[in-house]
Chains A and B, each alone.
Chain A
Amino acid sequence: MPITPMEVYKLLPKTNCKKCGEQTCMSFAFKLINREKKLEDCIPLFEEKKYAIQLKELQKLLEPLKEATETGLIVDEQLCVGCGNCVVVCPVHAADDPKGMGSGFGPTIDDPILRMEDGVVKVIEMMKCRRYGKNRVLCVACRENCPTDAIRFLEG
């Protein structure tokens, strides 16, 4: 179940005090989910006793995001058949390796995001994916073209 900004916003102080550096609590909620801001940036949440219960709930709610940094892009090897659609469709692959993966073949570079090893797709260099980093994009190309839905994105 992906974590929505609304769920996070309901547990924040909702005062728009701007102490975290954001204009509104809603935009702070968005930045929390994208991991551009940490929960500790909301100073009133930690300093004022009346928010103690909300703080506890928030920490519980945001727990999965802590692990997701390492494994944000998961391939279920039981479902994967090695068709290679995800490798060829990826726009980053098409830009980095036009004569190889862009044209349907296996990678000719050493660090692709995905590669077929022993018949199933393995994640090699996840950080090159467009979904991570500063200017992230909500790209779903690999997941949409997997015939068995073997690819999952962990942070929703």
Chain B
Amino acid sequence: MATCTGCSCLCPDIVVQAGVLNACRKGSSIFMHSKDNRAKPMVSGREVDMEVALEKATEMLSSSEKLAIYGMDTIPLEAQEVAIKLAERKEAFIDDNSTFCLGDFVEMVLRGILPSTTLDEAKSNAYVIFYWGTDPFQSLSRHMSLYTYYPRAGKRQRGYEEDRYLVVVDVRRSHTAKLAKKNARFIKVDSDDALVEGFLSTMDGRAGNYYEDTARILKEMQRGRFNVIFGGLGLKYGLKGKYEKFVEMMRKMNELAEVYFIPAGFHANMRGFNELMFEKTGFVNRYSFDTETSRPEYEFSELVRNDAIDTALVIGSDPVNSLPFDVAQKLRKKNLILIDPKLSLTSKIAEVVIPSAITGVDQGGTMVRSDGVRIKIDPLWEAEWSDRKILNELLRGVR
């Protein structure tokens, strides 16, 4: 039984034999194509031995004066710890994808501002399943069938037909919204603030925005007594960074029934990085070990745009593919070290490429699921150079 590391669902029941059983399309392609297009050690575009690449990388790190470490969302906790130590040693900037993903929500959950629970509890007890600004069909395909709406467990033995109430809030009728049929509600919103206001009005006893929907949903929440809201990128960007009203809404809802919040989903171990950083520094991302604080300009894209760094160490991410074009262009002028298992677009402009392993396939470790539960992963086989081993080697040699 293997564990899939395609997203933060971390499905534990994958069987890999002649084909891949039980994984969704995204997860199964990780296993099926694990041997394709693997990276080789390279310096200045030419293939070299691993020791040569490591030596060149150590030299670049040692001579760097303003270093940034970026990525790390798909490697296990044990490797992320070493990367953080490396950033500390060099008094460098450190950032991951959570700055433009759901880092805000994870931070609020870790600080206790939003009450949270685990996916297993949601599976056994939750009545109202509320997807706000997320389309799990696209990004977390098995989320609804493995953890929330469809399974029968605990107090919800009768499954989706009688024991669950689905609510989907989105700007358009997404694929997930199409599943809100009998015992369910789909709310099409133009402004998430308006819906938050609507909930607050109804709880005050006044008819505000969307009053029919909000009254019904609050009644169902009261009836079910244990409910979960899954917030996604639609909610984060819809609220535009101002969360006070949303937090107040959650607090007031908890006077009627237990209503918990779980961030919908992201990269396999993004929350692991946030938790390690929070424990060590009190901040979850875009941190500088030099000024010992976190500021918006320490976001990796901003550092590249403002020429605030001279060297970048990218681990398991593909900024040329996923970050804006002007950032990718500027990245060519920096000294770039890439640690990645595949020959991605970024490997075409990197000065040094160090091949690593794929978590779940040929390296193991501990990963943190979207609800904070730690999952220990045993790989199918062990590669010679895991991320942890590479980072330890760099840490040993850097001055």
Q: Which A residues are closer than 8 A to B by beta carbons?
A: 80-85, 87-89, 94, 98, 102-107, 115-120, 144-145, 147-148
Contacts and interface: CB of A to CB of B under 8 A. Distances in A.
B145 A84 contact: yes
B142 interface: yes
Contacts, number: 98
A128 to B, nearest CB: 18
B160 to A, nearest CB: 7
Interface string B185-196: 000000000000
Interface residues on B, range: 35 or more
Contacts of A89: 145, 150, 159-160
A76 to B, nearest CB: 13
A82 B28 contact: yes
A102 B24 CA distance: 18
Contacts of A94: 152, 159
Task: Give the most central of A87, A147, A148: most B CB within 10 Å.
Answer: A147
B247 interface: no
Nearest to A89: B150
B295 interface: no
B19 A104 contact: no
Contact of A87 (B26, B145, B176): B145
A138 to B, nearest CB: 16
B153 interface: yes
Nearest to A148: B175
A94 B156 CA distance: 13
Main secondary structure of the interface of A (DSSP, over half): loop
Given A85-B144, A106-B13, A147-B179, A116 B150 contact: no
A106 B150 contact: no
B25 interface: yes
A106 B15 contact: yes
Contact of A117 (B20, B152, B159, B176): B20
Nearest to A144: B181
Contacts of A144: 181
Given A84-B141, A144-B181, A119 B27 contact: yes
A103 B153 contact: yes
B179 A145 contact: yes
B21 A117 contact: yes
B388 interface: no
B175 A118 contact: no
8 contacts: A83-B141, A84-B22, A89-B150, A103-B152, A106-B15, A118-B28, A147-B137, A147-B176
